[in-house]
Amino acid sequence: MPGSWRLAFDDEFNSLNLANWQPNWLGANNSSITKPVNSEEVECIDPAQSSVGGGVLTVTAVQRSCDGYNYASGLLESNGHFNFTYGYMEARMYLPSDGAGGIADWPAFWADGQSWPNDGEIDVMEGLDGGACWHFHYGTPSSPQQVGTCAPGNYSGWHTFGADWEPGSITWYYDGKQVGQTTSNVTSAAMYLIVNLALKSGAAVAPQSMAVDYVRVWQH
State pLDDT tens for residues 130-173.
999 999 999 999 999 999 999 999 999 999 999 999 999 999 99
**Diameter of the chain by CA atoms?**
50
Q: Residue 59 in contact with residue 73, Cβ under 8 Å?
A: yes
Q: Residue 195 in contact with residue 109, Cβ under 8 Å?
A: yes
Q: pLDDT exceeding 70 applies to what percent of the chain?
A: 99
Cα angle 215, 89, 84 (rounded to 5 degrees) comes to 100
| pLDDT in the model for residue 3 | 78
Phi-psi region of 168 (alpha: psi -120 to 50; beta: other; left: phi over 0): left
The Cα 34–Cα 189 span in angstroms is 25
Extract the runs of DSSP E, i.e. beta strands, from the chain: 6-11, 43-45, 50-53, 56-66, 69-73, 75-77, 83-84, 87-95, 106-112, 121-128, 131-140, 143-151, 157-166, 169-174, 177-182, 191-198, 208-219
What is the residue-averaged pLDDT of the chain? 97
Strand partners, 61: 208
Q: What's the pLDDT tens digit per position in 180-199?
A: 999 999 999 999 999 999 99
Phi-psi region of 40 (alpha: psi -120 to 50; beta: other; left: phi over 0): alpha
The Cα 124–Cα 128 span in angstroms is 13
Using the predicted structure, report yes or no on whether residue 1 has a pLDDT greater than 80.
no
Q: What's the pLDDT tens digit per position in 9-42?
A: 999 999 999 999 999 999 999 999 999 999 999 9
The Cα 136–Cα 143 span in angstroms is 14
How confident is residue 4, by pLDDT bands cut at 50, 70 and 90? very high
Using the predicted structure, report yes or no on whether residue 2 has a pLDDT greater than 70.
no
